[in-house]
Amino acid sequence: MINAEKVQMQRWVEGLVVEKVRWSKGLYSVRFEAPVETFAAGQFTKVALDLDGERIGRPYSFVNAPHERPVEIYFNTIPEGPLSNHLAALEPGDRLWVSPKANGLLTLSETPEAEHLWLISTGTALGPFLSILKTEEPWRRFRRVVLVHAVRYAGDLSYQDSIAELIESHRGQLSFVPVVSRELAEGTLRGRIPALILDGALERRAGIPLAAESSHVMLCGNSEMIADTLHVLEQRGMRRHRRREPGHISTEKYH
């Protein structure tokens, strides 16, 4: 059993791995039981392992919704990374450390009202958007929701069963746009997100406009995509959202 006592006072609590999934080469998810505090969909925690006498931790977004257990994280391995390869080697029954308190502002409570919600991600940044989509709030607040997941190869389009279930549950309200940059793949757009916005391909596939007067965009993924997409959206009159200065684009700062 995992000891849940004094969670509020601890920097780390112990987690027990219950499942690992290898989606493709270097791409994994790990599910584990841990006494984490209540969090908001879209937030992240820190996960750690004790390696060579040192506790190494990194931020990972929750894939599970706040009401779901076990806890789930989604990540790719980095060849020289200090933690990811060790996480990928975990098996059910192994233990890890997790911060009990979540962080992050990429949440719907921080998102202003809009007609359409665009969730634009690359790689494993799909995770926090799945957490958000498994709650009731987006379906109450937005007329249409567009989930964009961009990867290098079609084999990296993970969680397809979960996305199909969401589409079925919210038929006519949720659109999914898979994007692949390095190969042709049936049913996907090819290219990079900024270019697909510039030429209108993303909007044509989604069937709704991406515009300041109707849309809010949540961006999560690699820094180059975020910077380039911000630039393209700013040319459309959209601006970064801040509490003191409401805007149209939300991003996250992981720390």
Q: What is the pLDDT of residues 232-245, one digit of tens each?
A: 999 999 999 988 88
Q: Are 132 and 242 found together in one domain?
A: yes
CATH number at residue 240: 3.40.50.80
Name residues whose C-beta falls within 8 Å of residue 89's C-beta, 6 or more positions apart in sequence: none
User: What is the phi/psi pair of residue 48, to 5°?
Assistant: -140, 160
| 114 shares its domain with 229 | yes
> Rounded distance, CA 92 to CA 145, Å?
35
| Dihedral angle, C-alpha 231, 234, 240, 241, nearest 10 ° | -150
Q: How many CB atoms lie within 10 A of CB 61?
A: 27
Instruction: Give the residue from 55, 62, 58 showing the smallest Cα distance to 47.
Output: 58
Single residue among 98, 132, 167 that ends a domain in this structure: 98
Give yes or no: residues 143 and 219 share one domain: yes
* pLDDT > 70? residue 6: no
Looking at the structure, tell me whether residues 122 and 197 fall in a common domain: yes
Same domain, 240 and 140: yes
Are 148 and 207 part of one and the same domain?
Answer: yes
**Residue-level pLDDT at 10:** 58
Q: Over the stretch 175-228, which tens digit does the pLDDT of each residue have?
A: 999 999 999 999 999 999 999 999 999 999 999 999 999 999 999 999 999 999
Read off the pLDDT of residues 65-77 as tens digits, 9 standing for 90 and up: 999 999 999 999 9
Inform me whether the pLDDT recorded for 92 exceeds 50. yes
User: Do the beta carbons of residue 217 and residue 200 sit within 8 Å?
Assistant: no
Looking at 57, 74, 98, the residue that finishes a domain is: 98
Look up the CATH number of the domain holding residue 80.
Answer: 2.40.30.10
Rounded to an integer, the average pLDDT of 90-101 is: 98
* Least reliable range by pLDDT among 9-13, 49-53, 81-85, 144-148: 9-13
| Residue 255 maps to a domain | no
> Are 120 and 245 contained in the same domain?
yes
Both tokens of 39, joined, read 């969090």
8 vs 157, higher pLDDT: 157
Are 210 and 233 in the same domain? yes
pTM metric for this prediction:
0.94
Closest CA to 254 of 72, 58, 28, 87: 58
Q: What percent of the chain has pLDDT over 90?
A: 91
Instruction: Identify the pLDDT of residue 74.
Output: 98
Q: Evaluate if residue 82 carries a pLDDT over 70.
A: yes
Out of 9-13, 73-77, 152-156, 162-166, least confident range = 9-13
Say how far apart CA 14 and CA 95 lie, in whole Å: 7
Is 143 in the same domain as 201? yes
Query: With 50 as the cut, is the pLDDT of residue 3 above it?
Result: no
Domain that holds residue 53: 7-98
Count of domains in the chain? 2
